[in-house]
Amino acid sequence: MILDERTYSIEPAHVGTYLDLYVDEGMAIQVGHLGTLVGWFTQDIGAVNDVVHIWQYDDLADRQRRRAAMEADPAWQAFRAKAAPLVQAMRSRILKPTWFSPLGGTGLRP
């Protein structure tokens, strides 16, 4: 199992607008393609205009297949066109749970 942590820096004062747009137009599409949503988060300290979401995949091939299908979906492309002006930057990390993680990770011991 891997986790894809995605952080989007949203234009200041537009975090609520971005989240409303996502819930109204993007979430059902994304969940339909990507599957297991671990969670969506905002920050109270630090970069308070960042939103973070985490998705669970079987492995990198599963992630690649699911994301490619989503990117090819015209409904997702339309959502992204509306959301893009609100996004300043995007960062993505792949996380692999450790062997002792409550998520049931299979990472090797160091």
Fold of 2-95: Alpha-Beta Plaits (3.30.70)
Query: What does the DSSP assignment read for 60-100?
Result: HHHHHHHHHHHHH-HHHHHHHHHHGGGEEEEEEEEE---TT
Q: pLDDT tens digits, residue range 11-63? A: 999 999 999 999 999 999 999 999 899 999 998 898 899 999 999 999 999 99
Total-model pTM: 0.89
Given this model, what pLDDT does residue 34 score?
A: 97
- Spell out the domain ranges in the chain: 2-95
Query: Would you put residue 73 in left (φ > 0), alpha (ψ -120 to 50) or beta?
Result: beta
- Residues 39 and 55: their CA atoms lie apart, in Å, by 7
